[in-house]
Amino acid sequence: MGQSPVSQTVRFDTAEAAPKSLSLGPWALTKDGMVGVLQPKRNYNKLTETTQRQFQLVSVGKTTAAPLATSRGILPQDGPRQLLGLDINEDYVVWMEAPGNNILETTWRLFSKDLKTGKVRLLARAEDFGGSTDKPFEGVTGASAPVMVGDSVVWSSPIVEGGSASATPAIGLLKVKLSGGKPQRIGSNVGRSFAGPHGLISERQTAKKEPGGLTLMKTTGVVSGDLDGKSTAVLEIDPTLDAFVVAAQGTTLMLSVKGSLVIVDTQSKQAFTVPVPAKTKLGQGPAICGQLVTWSVDDRAKQRPQYFFDLKKATLSGFTFPGKTKNVGEAYCNQDVFAATVREPGDPDSRRRVQAFEWESGQPVTRLGRGGA
């Protein structure tokens, strides 16, 4: 195994930014550093009125946080909420909220905040597409995290054809302008979406009847499309493989296929199969960092190393986090830093934090946006 592309030097740690009463929620790595959301620690039955207990936007290096206006104030009848995901750029932060008692709920709200003016908008809600229900649709998961593409926000969600609650649900690809306006449906049967070279890279999903009569959505391909709904197939996938896209950047796709990782360049048509080490299982933290593809695994020793595969050199290297910290979640990168969610052994998930590290000199890593919906 080759030398790690990541230095052991910790560039920043969010431990001081998150007080013990709050946990670090969804986050993104901007060109200026990490930005995330603080939220109450898994207290789904109660959400107090105080600013300190609401979702708060926090930047690395700052111990103060700017409150995010949530549906607690805009739609008080909704009750306690949780964040499903966020995206951020130099001008806006967008985030998705859902009921706090079930992450697969299809009753969601999409918000944006103008970082210059502080104005918060309710951009879209599940009811706009007939998708609000007390229970998840059969075989269909809830709404995906939003991703900003140009002047719009794109996400996927279960929708009801014809607006009837008894109708068969479909997965709709949805968009709305950051400045507000009427949300639009631009595609159907689409799973996760990522920012692509021409707009979007999206999973194509097809309903498949399983033994016992259960209908599940299976990934049967990957398409490249624009925000007007035009798309071109770039990859066909056998639905029996139970494959799904875990990361995408430019023309590079990273898929999970029966416990292994498959990396595909849709332009050159090259594909690499990355074997997951023995006695481990594919973990979290997939990301594409320029020519480096990275992910983590969970081994019996609970070391949870981060692996890096160099697409140009076809070499594999690993990185073990310093001290006793273990990788437990997301990984992101830009031209300057690599960052991942970590926690100490024995700590609950609510005590997780983010550590960022510098790349070793000479690593040709391009800036990567959040890119996941």
More confident residue, 258 or 18: 258
pLDDT tens, 312-357?
Answer: 888 888 888 887 777 776 787 766 678 888 877 777 666 677 888 8
Q: Are 283 and 320 in contact (CB under 8 A)?
A: no
Please say if the pLDDT value at position 175 is more than 80.
Answer: yes
- The whole-number pLDDT of residue 278 equals 64
More confident residue, 165 or 220: 220
Phi, psi of 305 (to 5 degrees): -70, 160
Geometric angle at alpha carbon 347, from 344 and 351, rounded to 5°: 90
pLDDT tens, 293-308?
Answer: 888 876 655 666 788 8
User: Among the CATH numbers 3.30.565.10, 3.90.1150.30, 2.130.10.10, 2.40.10.10, which is that of 6-359?
Assistant: 2.130.10.10
Q: Where are the domains of the chain?
A: 6-359
pLDDT tens, 239-297?
Answer: 888 888 888 877 888 888 877 788 888 888 888 887 666 666 666 678 888 888 888 87
Residue among 141, 182, 146, 87 nearest 373 (CA): 146
Residue among 272, 331, 324 nearest 307 (CA): 331
Q: How many CA atoms lie within 13 A of 80 on its CB side?
A: 15
> How buried is 272 (Cβ within 10 angstroms: 0-12 exposed, 13-18 middle, 19+ buried)?
middle
- Residue type at position 167: A
More confident residue, 18 or 192: 192
Residue among 373, 336, 248, 348 nearest 29 (CA): 336
The two counts, helices (H) then strands (E), for the chain are 1, 29
CA–CA separation, 205 and 221 (whole Å): 7
Q: Are 58 and 38 in contact (CB under 8 A)?
A: yes
- The whole-number pLDDT of residue 182 equals 92
Q: Are 372 and 147 in contact (CB under 8 A)?
A: yes
